[in-house]
Amino acid sequence: MSTNEKSAIKPPLWVLLELTHKCPLECTYCYNQLDFANTKDGMSKEDWFKVLDETRALGAVQLGISGGEPLLNKDIVEIVRYANDLKFYTNLITSGVGGEKGVLKKLKEAGLKTVQLGIQSHDENTMTLITNNKSAMKDKIAFAKEVKELGMQLIVNTCITRQNIEQVGEIIEFCDELGANYLEIANIQYYGWALENVDALLPSKEQLDKAMEVTNFYREKRKDMKVFFVVPDYYENRPKACMNGWGTTFLTINPDGLALPCNTANTLPIEFPNVKESSVKEIWYESKAFNFFRGDEWMNPTCRSCPEKEKDFGGCRCQAYALTKDMHEADPVCDKSAYHGVVKKIVENANKSDKLPIYRNKQNSLKFIENKTCCS
């Protein structure tokens, strides 16, 4: 990376604190690495405060609080209060399951601004099937109602798979009834457990087209709730500009203190720095890891000569590595990639597969077989 390119590095704007990787759900589409639940909660409350001080001093303004399930971190209220005092705009990203009674009211009083709640279906059986948690539906409805009663903004994220894609219309109606301000219908990106389960999760192009048609109908019908629809990479010919470009906008701190350019970056064969050992400023501007894919010197000839490299930056490094075992390769979603056939083969195999997904706890996977007709 040239000196001029280094001097042009802008500070992070969005910081994501992954307070824990513990989670009461076992969602089959989870993007986290396969062993993510083994990541230890190595950050003390004071460690998180230090991160907040240093990122705010750099100019960061948006703060996401996530996990795993962040409500399982006993210090979450104090962390939100500290962030609010620093004038961060705070956003809780949660399953709505597992938190102590009354914690949402405490978070509101501490300054929490927005709640993003994951809701997988309007149907209890489908919800149980996807999350492997029998109380998920009841808990999520109660949580959503409390968000609205407290006068807070509610964003719902619905990850779409083959198990719930034909329920899109009902899901939109359900979220509207819950009072959601925004609904993101997110056709999942295939990392971690999602990639492990891709044959069982990836919808067909026909299902996607129908779901988008249904979504567009409700967009016209519903003027109060904004609805967004995200198409999965595997049906595109050009990759997304992952995280707006490596080390340009987003900074993630995971539960043991690793600083990452995105949530899944530690699946790459790169040694990432730890905020307990270095300052955020040193990490962001000077570390080898955060400079690894800045600029275009790292690119292979296909990407470096591409006129769209300033738009997509060669696509996702994690996806390139997962599908080609070479993190310098062009994202195989791109039809200019020498590995684009890998994506086409995945789509072909998934469209003719009758596999059932597996959970992180594989001992529980037989529940899929017992319940496989619940959402048909």
DSSP string, 210-231: HHHHHHHHHHHH-SSSEEEEE-
CB atoms within 10 A of CB 224: 8
2 within domain boundaries: no
CATH number of the domain at 264, please.
3.20.20.70
DSSP 260: E
Collect all residues with Cβ–Cβ distance below 8 Å to 44 and sequence separation of at least 6.
Answer: none
What's the domain count of the chain? 1
Neighbour-count burial for 98-122, b at 16+ CB within 10 Å, e otherwise: bbeeeebebbbebbbbbbbbbbbbb
1 within domain boundaries: no
Window from 64-78, 104-118, 287-301, 354-368 with minimum mean pLDDT: 354-368
> What sections of the chain are H helices per DSSP?
3-7, 45-58, 76-85, 103-110, 124-131, 136-149, 168-178, 192-196, 198-201, 205-221, 280-286, 288-291, 301-304, 309-312, 317-324, 340-351, 366-371
Q: In this model, does residue 16 exceed pLDDT 70?
A: yes
Tell me whether residue 23 is annotated as binding.
Answer: yes
189 within domain boundaries: yes
Give the pLDDT of residue 371: 52
Cross-strand partners of 298: none
Express each pLDDT in 290-338 by its tens digit.
999 999 999 999 899 999 999 999 999 999 999 999 999 999 999 999 9
Residue closest to 131 by CA, chosen among 41, 266, 202, 28: 28
Give the pLDDT of residue 369: 47
Are the C-beta atoms of residues 85 and 54 closer than 8 Å to each other? no
DSSP 296: S
State the pLDDT confidence band at 367, using cuts at 50, 70 and 90. Answer: low
Collect all residues with Cβ–Cβ distance below 8 Å to 305 and sequence separation of at least 6.
Answer: none
Length of the chain: 376
Q: What is the mean pLDDT of residues 276-286?
A: 98
The average confidence (pLDDT) of the chain is: 92
Give the pLDDT of residue 124: 96
Express each pLDDT in 74-85 by its tens digit.
999 999 999 999
Q: In this structure, what token pair is assigned to residue 7?
A: 């001097």
**One-letter amino acid for residue 45 of the chain:** K
Tell me whether residue 27 is annotated as binding.
Answer: yes
First CA to last CA distance, the chain: 52
4 within domain boundaries: no
Express each pLDDT in 135-181 by its tens digit.
999 999 999 999 999 999 999 999 999 999 999 999 999 999 999 99
5 within domain boundaries: no
Which residue range forms the structural domain that includes residue 41? Answer: 11-375
Neighbour-count burial for 1-38, b at 16+ CB within 10 Å, e otherwise: eeeeeeeebebbbbbbbbbbbbbbbbbbbbbbbeebbe
Q: What is the mean pLDDT of residues 225-238?
A: 90
Give the pLDDT of residue 73: 96
Q: In this structure, what token pair is assigned to residue 26?
A: 């076992």
CB atoms within 10 A of CB 370: 9
Longest dimension (CA), the chain: 60
Q: In this model, does residue 373 exceed pLDDT 60?
A: no
DSSP H or E stretch at residue 328: none
State the pLDDT confidence band at 37, using cuts at 50, 70 and 90. Answer: low
Cross-strand partners of 118: 157
State the pLDDT confidence band at 32, using cuts at 50, 70 and 90. Answer: confident
Q: In this model, does residue 372 exceed pLDDT 80?
A: no
Give the pLDDT of residue 269: 96
